[in-house]
Amino acid sequence: MKQLSQSPVTLLFAAFALLLSCQAWSHELRPAYLEVQQTAEESFRVTWRVPARGDLRLAINARFDDSVVAMGTPRASFANGFYTESWDIGHPDKLAGARVSIDGLARTMTDALVRIQWQDGREQVARLLPDKTGMVVDNTATSGQVAATYFVLGVEHILLGIDHLLFVLALVLLASGWRQLVITITAFTLAHSLTLAAAVLGWLAVPQAPVEAIIALSIVFVASEILHKQRGRSTIAIHRPWLVAFAFGLLHGLGFAGALAEVGVPEHSIPLALAVFNIGVEAGQLAFISTLAALYWLALRLPPVQLWEARSSGSATTLVATPVSYVVGGLAAWWLVDRTLAMILV
């Protein structure tokens, strides 16, 4: 155990897992969402949704230029981790040429998805960022704009979805060898792609709260299996990790679908938006696994690691697996309790 705690590889991967977990509380990274739907010739209904924690919300606000007239009093509420505000606006030219901006966005680390829908079926989709806080309303969004927007949303969701990343990290440690790892990650990809598509297309509807709790449970389970593997035990999950990856991947796909449902999908481009969002998720997942592989490759070339492996019969993978499984499993267990209590107390 003394050697375990002193290994640079162990410290490197344990610190990496801890960094991922701490990121979940460091900043608010969920996107805001502005939806503008035409209700009459010169009238629109605005829905503005901002990430919130309890009764505190992110200090950003949607603003239209002076050509847009606000009608009525805004209605606001807190629910499901968001602050939602809705009101009606008017514009003499169906918002053409009007400027939309997000005040305060430049001081955050989040982004805002803007979706404008006209009664004739046209839509415009745009993604506003801290360095691009405004846009001008024009014609319907092109397929390229939709694809670019939802691809980035997919990449962001997997890279900012700490629970999904930790599950992938656990799968990497559970698999034995590159061939088994490729099969395991492929099974996970296939499974969450299936349920993501089914949920977005309306074929499957599951409440998000229990899904999020079971996702946390899936991480706890795989982390415990890693420990069984290190202790020489034999289980189905250890010999066939792709079965576990596929089973829990179905649930993770429902989690992805919940995130996509929060920002909506353009009705005229559902297949395109769904496809590129899923491709974005896979691109982010591959980037994460590539980063893990690069860190591992670099760590193996550190002189202390080479000296340790020369003097012992253990491998760097063995050193990494045990402490990281405790970090990952412990964090997921906390999530499981927190998410379960949240369901009970609602």
Which residues span the domain enclosing 84?
32-141
pLDDT tens digits for range 68-97: 999 988 899 988 778 999 999 999 888 988
> Does 82 share its domain with 180?
no
Q: Are residues 89 and 233 in the same domain?
A: no
pLDDT exceeds 90 at position 219: yes
In the chain, alpha helices (H): 2-6, 8-26, 143-160, 162-174, 177-200, 208-230, 236-239, 241-263, 270-300, 303-311, 316-345
Whether 196 and 322 map to the same domain: the answer is yes
pLDDT of residue 25: 40
Helix (H, G, I), strand (E, B) or coil at 105: helix
What is the phi/psi pair of residue 302, to 5°?
Answer: -75, 135
Q: Are residues 13 and 93 in the same domain?
A: no
More confident residue, 213 or 146: 213
Residue at 284 is within a domain:
yes
- Average pLDDT estimate for 52-71: 89
Q: Among the three residues 141, 168, 191, which one is the final residue of a domain in this structure?
A: 141
Is residue 182 in a domain? yes
Mean pLDDT score of the chain: 82
Question: Are both 196 and 64 inside the same structural domain?
Answer: no
**Of 141, 175, 199, which residue is a domain's last?**
141
**Mean pLDDT to the nearest integer, 18-33:** 54
Domain identity same for 118 and 47: yes
Please give the share of the chain, as a percent, with pLDDT higher than 70.
Answer: 84
Contact 119, 144 (CB under 8 A): no
Residue 109 lies in a domain: yes
**Is position 150 within any domain?**
no
